[in-house]
Amino acid sequence: MKTRYDEIKEQVKKFHKAHPEIWVLFKKFAFEKIKQGLNNYGAKNIIERIRWETDKPNEKGDGTFKINNNYHPFYARAFMKQFPEHKGFFRTREQISMKQPAT
C-alpha cells in the first residue's frame, strides 16, 4: 500500500533531479554551521537560507523559487546518511507520513 511518505519521497526525488544545486547548497550551509562549532542545527533553517540566497523576482516582482516545506526532513536524513560522522546534527522525528494513506 502506498503511503503519504512514498508520495513525498517521489516528489523530493523529482525535485532533486530538477534542482541538484539545492543539495550542493544544503551541504555547504550545513558544513558552515558544523565548522562554526554547532553540534546540531535545523534543516528547515538551511532550506530557508537557500530560499533567501536563490530566490529571484519574476516580472511581477514575485519570488520564483519554491521548495516544499515537507522536503527538509529528507534533506536532513540524506545529509546524515552521506556523512555518518555527523549523525544527529539534524534532529529528526518519526515521519508520521509513513503511517498515513496516500492522498
Let me know: does 95 contact 33? Beta carbons within 8 Å. Answer: no
Nearest to 26 by CA among 92, 94, 78, 69: 78
Mean pLDDT of 36-48: 97
The overall pTM is greater than 0.95: no
Asked whether 79 and 26 are in contact (CB, 8 A), the reply is: yes
Least confident of 37-41, 92-96, 98-102: 98-102
pLDDT at residue 20, rounded to an integer: 95
- pLDDT over threshold 80, residue 88: yes
Strand partners, 90: 41
Identify the three-state secondary structure at position 94.
coil
User: Chain-wide mean pLDDT for the chain?
Assistant: 90
The residue assigned the cell 511518505 is: 5
Supply 23's cell numbers. 543539495
